[in-house]
Amino acid sequence: MGTLSIVATPIGNLEDITLRALRTLREADAILCEDTRVTSKLLAKYEISKPLIRCDEKMEEKAAKRAIEMLEEGKKLALVSDAGTPGISDPGARLVARIRRFAPDARIEAIPGPSALTAALSVAGLKHGEFVFKGFLPHKKGRQTAMREVLNSKVPVVLYESPHRVEKLLQELGEREVSVGRELTKLHEEFIHGRGVDNFLDLKRRDAVRGEFVVIVHPA
């Protein structure tokens, strides 16, 4: 049986990659990825050339089958996502679950590294170590319940949000204190703090409601 390495990659700054991640990618027989263009850019920077197997939400089942065949042949596979640690709010978790189920003898190893979650927490300066990670809130069904849980939490809650939905999220958070990490590790990186609605207005005034966002909701 082969090995599947779950490789964390940068969340923006392409220098944020570990030596072990680079070695693992160089030694892999093939790399499973979400968007081949995103992964190709990273591989080109480090002069790595490997067959890529697309494994986004649509291709996941097919990719998992191929991965299982290759693992059965004793091959080395690497799984990366578009950014950060596979399995943290991206399709990686489902692929790993399938491999665990259908190729239980395959070795699955973690090659840890960046994640938007840990990057945001590292600069947040939370008073206590505790937090809850909820990732993306549901868009429609279940949103109200999820939002109630966020607002009732006794510990900070970390959320992910896409640029075209962050406006709605910050407005919903209204008067609550939130910290917003935007474009972490990138050129326009910033970390702002204030009431949800004020953060929204501030971003809007500066035409900065774009990029990638981590939102930390502080307890009332």
39 binds ligand SAM (CB under 6 A): no
81 binds ligand SAM (CB under 6 A): yes
60 binds ligand SAM (CB under 6 A): no
- Comparing CB distances to ligand SAM, the nearer of 74 and 112 is 112
- Comparing CB distances to ligand SAM, the nearer of 15 and 47 is 15
Tell me the closest approach of the beta carbon of residue 91 to ligand SAM, in angstroms.
Answer: 8
Tell me the closest approach of the beta carbon of residue 199 to ligand SAM, in angstroms.
Answer: 14
Q: Count interface residues toward ligand SAM (CB under 6 A).
A: 23
24 binds ligand SAM (CB under 6 A): no
Contacts of 60 (CB under 8 A, 6+ apart): 91, 94, 95, 98
What are the C-alpha distances in Å from 147 to residues 134, 139, 157?
A: 10, 11, 11
- Comparing CB distances to ligand SAM, the nearer of 2 and 84 is 84
12 binds ligand SAM (CB under 6 A): yes
- Comparing CB distances to ligand SAM, the nearer of 24 and 115 is 115
Please provide the size of the chain in residues: 220
Of 5, 89, 179, 199, the one binding ligand SAM by CB under 6 A: 89
Note whether 10 and 115 are within 8 A (CB): no
- Nearest residue to the partner ligand SAM, using Cβ: 84
113 binds ligand SAM (CB under 6 A): no
What are the C-alpha distances in Å from 100 to residues 65, 68, 80?
A: 12, 10, 17
Of 173, 183, 200, 217, the one binding ligand SAM by CB under 6 A: 183
Tell me the closest approach of the beta carbon of residue 192 to ligand SAM, in angstroms.
Answer: 12
Residues that bind ligand SAM (CB under 6 A): 11-12, 81, 83-85, 88-90, 115-117, 160-162, 181, 183-186, 212-214
